[in-house]
Structure 1
């Protein structure tokens, strides 16, 4: 049985990793309680009372641990992943996997030298049933050839509950690196693109003057030989929305289009994971809430077989590269320019 541990419990996405691997049949054998968000560690304790708290060094030195999950402060994720890979572990990292080009180069070098896997869990595709269903429909040719993706990633700020690093540009890497990496992953995946280029990007601080280095808005225009993509991400989810964000994705094809309303349908339907398919036959609404998630099952198999079925290493690195380039090249608009 595959055995895994968790280090860097600084973001709630660590629970996607833990729950996903457990559902895939892996064994949770330890976690490091060091964290900038103690409440997250308390939740791990309550949910997994039989799992021991162990120092990072001990977990990394344990040769019986196959995989390490990492959701540390973003700027620390690459360094922890490199250390874990050098210790013989495969890693699942929360997005963003890297926050600088130097980190990306170091991760690439480590993967090549160690043969270990560096997988980034882009949860807005891999942990969302409607996004999984959309991938299957695209693969089946339900909308013909994909021409464009439009990805919207709004989030609720909830500033009072955020740790101090959340507003530190060096720590979170910028809004495009931090959030839009999700939508860049989706653009490459749904268009079937091995690579892409950044046509234009912008970031801004429109509503958070008390944190001048913070970015509460970002947008990216992407292009590849297969199609184009537009991305908008922000921290402007209003208090009246009964969830953290109205995340949406539109996939345009030559024979139809798909729209995902991932977390809520403000049109009035209950629940999450609403998929709308429009084609030559008409308009259909598909409830995807029971669609199985296969990323973690595939990842566990990849660890055993040394394959890349869950996600190719090239794809991970291309998402990281495009995110960093879009962030670096972004024009600053509206409000005070970040450092």
Structure 2
């Protein structure tokens, strides 16, 4: 019997570390320990509540332990590239939270080290890989249920929860900007569902509507992109009302040549209970699919890739392609904002 793969958690700064660790354990991997270093004591507290059986271990010991196959990371975004590079140089494959990097130079360095070390570098785009509705939609598209996907509309609203956010959350130099951070999810989904190997950023913009006392912060972003004969529109924001029974009404629309699919990922507002709602309309009719019990495949596939040196969890190079596009869109938005601000003066 093949022994289970072992992994370590380094970078406990974002709550996404909970599903990185939890889903890998559920897929059959063993957590060899975690580095307790964090910028947010609440994240560490939540981690200890969820995983009381895991042991804190010095960071360098985790990097240097030859029995550890994988490092997972949800550090402050500005720190993720360095942690991933250190892990790959230590002979480990890597799974990081998005964004995996916040500058083009970081992406180039990650790419270079991954090639030199032959290590796997993967980004867990949770709005696809931890959403069961996306599993169903992927199958429907692969089956040709809506023909060829020619347009995607991805909406990524979030609740700000300002009182519990750490200082770095409001610093673009730390999190990379709203497009680099959040819209990487929707860029990933555009490439995945359209099958486009690459994309062109047509336009991008950001704004700060509510936190004027923090002028560098961005609470709204939008992107238009084209690729593979398809187009995509993205809107991300921090305007989810506190009254909504979910952190955001995340939605994805897939327009095909023979029908369309709508995903209501986290809530069917004032409708059906729970999340993971899929609506399919094609020549055969219209129906609602409850995807809440659909198995998640990314984590199991990633472990298989580590064992077999394959690329089934995501195509080779996909993670960095998405990251490059998100950073490019962020830069376009910054340039546009600079022109607008300059004209206003």
What's the TM-score, normalizing by structure 2? 0.95
State the partner residue of 1:223.
Answer: 226
Native 8 Å contact 1:209 1:336 kept in 2: no
* 1:19 pairs with one of 19, 22, 26: 22
State the partner residue of 1:191.
Answer: 194
* 2:319 pairs with one of 316, 321, 332: 316
Equivalents in 2 of 1:278, 1:210: separation in Å? 45
**Cα distance, 1:38 vs structure 2:** 1.3
* 1:49 pairs with one of 48, 52, 56: 52
State the partner residue of 1:212.
Answer: 215
**Cα distance, 1:316 vs structure 2:** 1.0
State the partner residue of 2:309.
Answer: 306
* 1:92 pairs with one of 88, 95, 101: 95
Structure 1, gaps ≥5 residues long: none
Compare 91-100 and 308-317 and name the one that shifted more: 308-317
State the partner residue of 1:146.
Answer: 149
Native 8 Å contact 1:192 1:226 kept in 2: no
Q: Is residue 2:80 matched to residue 1:77? A: yes
State the partner residue of 1:174.
Answer: 177
Q: How many residues align?
A: 337
Equivalents in 1 of 2:288, 2:270: separation in Å? 12
Structure 2, gaps ≥5 residues long: none
Equivalents in 1 of 2:161, 2:22: separation in Å? 25
Q: Is residue 2:117 matched to residue 1:114? A: yes
**Cα distance, 1:57 vs structure 2:** 0.5
State the partner residue of 1:123.
Answer: 126
Native 8 Å contact 2:153 2:233 kept in 1: yes
Equivalents in 1 of 2:269, 2:113: separation in Å? 45
Equivalents in 1 of 2:59, 2:172: separation in Å? 26
Q: Deviations over 1:217-268 (max 9, x none)?
A: 0000010123010000000111221111000000000000000000000141
Equivalents in 2 of 1:62, 1:324: separation in Å? 33
Cα RMSD (Å): 1.4
Equivalents in 1 of 2:229, 2:32: separation in Å? 43
Equivalents in 1 of 2:210, 2:298: separation in Å? 36
Equivalents in 2 of 1:281, 1:267: separation in Å? 27
